[in-house]
Amino acid sequence: MADERFLYENISQRLRNQILGGSYHVGEKLPSMRRLSQVFGVSINTIMLCFRQLESDELIDIRPRSGVFVTNHSLPKICPSNVAHFPLLPVEVSLSEDIFHYMEPHIEEHLVRLGIALPAREIMPIEHVLRTMRGVTRRQPLDAWDYMHPHGYTKFTSQLAKRSLNYPVPIAQEDLIVTNGCMEAIELALRTVTQRGDTVAVETPSYYGTLLALEVMQRKALEIPTDYRNGICLDALEQVFKRQQVSACLVSCNAQNPLGFTMSEDRKQKLVKLATRYNIPLIENDIWGDTVYAGDCLPAKAYDEAGMVIYCNSFSKSLMPGIRLGWVAPGRFHHRLRELKQISSITTASTPQLLMARLMESGFYAQHVQQLRQKLAVQTQETVAAVLKAFPEGTRIEPPTGGCVLWVGLPDQIDSRLLFDQALAKGIHIFPGSVFSAGPRHFDYLRLNAGAPLDDKLRSAITQLGDMAKRI
């Protein structure tokens, strides 16, 4: 059954790309089932399954005795109303070699960096932050020199807790554990609520770093269809919760990487209620939450009455990646996660906590975030326009609601892995979509970073990328 599902999923995706890429226009009739079965070398029944999936995605209209016609559509539905065709099956993650291959060139200074998701240095307050760091180490030299308490610097965790005062369920200061970045928080969360061999529900596409963590920790991934606007498909998620297929669920609700969506408050509440009802721990990665353009967007953790959400965050994307300062609010799992933190890294560096406490107390960080959101909103809008102008007809982008990444859908099944190789040879670094899934998905997508102002150098690189894509 799994092989059959993969077969018609693959063919459905190819037909979907043709429709969305403009090869078939609204109202145009598709080839007959018999013709398509000959083209793809499969049975008529398999083509019928493909048609049913495309119909549930609202891309086609099946008219008895007349044929199959393209409907009026705008965006593909990754989370269809009927998820029966999506293979909700756990898979082993084996992406480490691919991920390292695509990440490694980023360190080369001469490259145009469109691959790694990060706001550019030129829009960040580097001098102010470093000046503040020099000041706190001068005023508190012994605190900066010594180990920090394993629970974290009190003034820092107090500021973190105050950020949640407008939540329906605020985060208590004593529930916070300071970590070495968001990834340590996520890894501690996974170790707390899962064991080797367990399965974790994840979005698809999903941030490759979390998939890599699952691989290293020998957990399986069960990919849940995820929508450009609404986020993870709650119907599909409930199915796997009911069947007890997973031990935990790992999601991003705000400015998700790579799709860029922000879930509605109503859907966040429903997500938390699902996790609570079925007693499934929900690990929330909110690293891009501070960059949501609309601002003051609450995480799912804000609605966590039962303590089922393990909330993970850091300042790596919103301020300074080099300080590696994150935190986790584990809810009912606090005791076990604290134990794991103390036997792994014991504590977190002192100076970053002193620095962030000062930046938050002074109000500087809140002011900076407001400015950062405005800059990123402009940059992503301008980069979307530049990509659509340069890339082949049929290229698809849903503008993000926050962050600085664009999920670019390529027409005609253009393989972004080939585009990566050609772009790198021209001094341009991008990230292929295939590493954002544990399965054979998203090869015809790529993720582009829009974290830098769109200058002539970036426009030229995007034009070159578009020309390469047209020739593949």
Burial class (CB in 10 A: 0-12, 13-18, 19+), 207: buried
> Phi and psi (nearest 5°) for 283?
-95, 115
The per-residue DSSP string of 413-432 comes to G--HHHHHHHHHHTTEE-EE
Contact between 405 and 261 (Cβ < 8 Å): no
**How far is the C-alpha of 328 from the C-alpha of 310, rounded, in Å?**
7
The tokens for 427 are 């001094």
3-state secondary structure of 326: strand
Pairing of strands 405-409, 445-449: antiparallel
Sheet of strand 405-409: strand arrangement? 396-397, 405-409, 445-449, 431-432
- Alpha-carbon separation of residue 214 from 195, 218, 462 (angstroms): 11, 6, 33
Closest to 61 (Cα-Cα) out of 13, 38, 18, 28: 28
Q: How does 275-287 read in b/e, with b if 16+ C-beta sit within 10 Å?
A: bbebebbbbbbbb
- The DSSP 8-state label assigned to residue 386 in this structure reads H
Torsion of CA 432, 433, 434, 436, to 10 degrees: 120
* Beta carbons within 10 angstroms of residue 337's beta carbon: 22
Q: What is the rounded CA–CA span in Å between residue 326 and residue 148?
A: 14
What's the pLDDT at 9? 63
The tokens 């909103």 sit on which residue? 377
DSSP characters over 226-293: EETTTEE-HHHHHHHHHTT--SEEEE--SS-TTT-----HHHHHHHHHHHHHHT--EEEE-TTGGGBT
* Residue 263 exposure: Cα atoms within 13 Å on the Cβ side: 27
Q: Give the pLDDT confidence score for residue 350 in this predicted structure.
A: 98
Report the pLDDT value the prediction gives residue 283, as an integer from 0 to 100: 98
Rounded CA-CA distance 265/250 in Å is 18
Give residue-wise pLDDT tens across range 265-279: 999 999 999 999 999
Averaged confidence pLDDT in the chain: 91
At 87, list the tokens.
């293979």
Q: How much is the pLDDT for 22?
A: 66
d(CA 398, CA 201): 24
Helix (H), strand (E) at residue 70:
strand 67-70
* Per-residue confidence (pLDDT) for residue 5, from 0 to 100: 44
Please give the chain's pLDDT, 472 residues, in tens.
334 444 666 677 778 767 766 667 788 899 988 888 888 788 887 788 788 778 766 788 888 778 888 887 544 444 544 455 567 889 999 999 999 999 999 888 889 999 999 999 999 999 999 999 999 999 999 999 999 998 999 999 999 999 999 999 999 999 999 999 999 999 999 999 999 999 999 999 999 999 999 999 999 999 999 988 889 999 999 999 999 999 999 999 999 999 999 999 999 999 999 999 999 999 999 999 999 998 779 999 999 999 999 999 999 999 999 999 999 999 999 999 999 999 999 999 999 999 999 999 999 999 999 999 999 999 999 999 999 999 999 999 989 999 999 999 999 989 999 999 999 999 999 999 999 999 888 999 999 999 999 999 999 999 999 999 999 9
Written in H, E and C, the secondary structure of 281-313 is: CEEEECCCHHHECCCCCCCHHHHCCCCCEEEEE
* Structure-token match 């993720």, residue found: 447
What pLDDT does 79 receive? 54
Comparing C-alpha atoms, which of 432, 435, 414, 436 is closest to residue 424?
A: 432
Quote the tokens at residue 329: 């609010």
Q: What is the pLDDT of residue 75?
A: 44
Question: Which token pair is 334?
Answer: 């606090």
- Between helix 456-471 and helix 364-390 the angle, nearest 10°, is 40
User: Which residue type does 10 have?
Assistant: N
pLDDT of the residue at 39: 80
